[in-house]
Structure 1
Amino acid sequence: MNKKERPVLSDLVNDGTSDVEKFQNEVIRPVIKMQHHLLITSFKNYLQKRKIDLSVLVDKKKRNRVSSVFKTDNNYKNMTLGFIIGHFSEDEFAFYSEKSSEVNRRVLQIVSQRIKDSISEVE
């Protein structure tokens, strides 16, 4: 079992950045990057369980299918959020607790985009 380490992503935080944006760039994005392979594997598993074959779809429809999963399947969304939130420190979780709906929206948006951008890894 290899130990995962949260990457440091620089150049994402500017002076005019809101608290949530700062949290997104300092915490959420590095965790999502660290969890990339798990997120891809879990999406592959999701498609397999539901007998969804992306390879027969044109690119735009593949992207639409990914979006619809993140819009409609609450169980999958909650599992995905768990993959990310589970890596928060206590302080990060305290911030998350205050702004959970905004943070959840951002997490799901970023993960959805990441899966679309990595669609070749999913097929």
Structure 2
Amino acid sequence: MDQRDKLIKEIRGESLGDTNVQSSSDELFQNQVLRPILQLQNDLFIASFLNYINKYKRDFYTKSVENKLAIIENAIQKDIKFRNALKGMIIGLFTNDEYALYIQNSSSLNKRMMNLLIERLKSQVQLFEKE
């Protein structure tokens, strides 16, 4: 393992979530790679979404909670530039071996990645209040 991979694994920390012998390879990747990265990058995702709403959704702060949740979901699912920026924040913390696994099944893993991120931001919607 090269120095970069070793450093990334140290920074990310331990696997999050339950896995067992019956876990699929995608589920293992999710719990061993995606969840720790999402946790590590959480503050960056929040800052990125705040920037997004200040640039493109200035009326976000006047919306109901339900509408705010829908905006979070739509921003990540439908705004390809924003989605790709978020993906880059995650993929940039893959090791070389993890990236090799990712490219074999990127479609399924992208879906998991974005769903986890949507749920993470929705669960913190109270942080997206005007100060």
Give the alignment's TM-score, normalised by structure 2: 0.86
Equivalent of 1:58 in 64, 72, 88: 64
Q: 3-state DSSP class of the match of 2:21?
A: coil
- How many pairs are equivalent? 120
Equivalent of 2:19 in 2, 13, 16: 13
Equivalent of 1:33 in 21, 31, 39: 39
TM superposition outliers: structure 1 runs of 4+ over 3 Å:
none
Residue equivalent to 1:71: 77
Question: How far, CA to CA, are the matches of 2:73 and 2:16 in structure 1?
Answer: 28
Residue equivalent to 1:104: 110
Question: How far, CA to CA, are the matches of 2:34 and 2:44 in structure 1?
Answer: 15
In the alignment, structure 1 residue 84 sits paired with structure 2 residue 95 = no
- Runs (5+) with no aligned partner, structure 2: 1-9
* Distance 1:10-1:73 versus aligned 2 partners, 3 A rule: closer
Question: How far, CA to CA, are the matches of 2:91 and 2:120 in structure 1?
Answer: 17
Residue equivalent to 1:48: 54
Q: 3-state DSSP class of the match of 1:53?
A: helix
Equivalent of 2:122 in 101, 116, 121: 116
2:76–2:82 Cα contact (<8 Å) kept: yes
Note the aligned Cα RMSD (angstroms). 1.4
Give the alignment's TM-score, normalised by structure 1: 0.91
Between the two proteins, what is the percent identity of the paired residues?
32
Question: How far, CA to CA, are the matches of 2:112 and 2:39 in structure 1?
Answer: 14
* Distance 1:72-1:11 versus aligned 2 partners, 3 A rule: closer
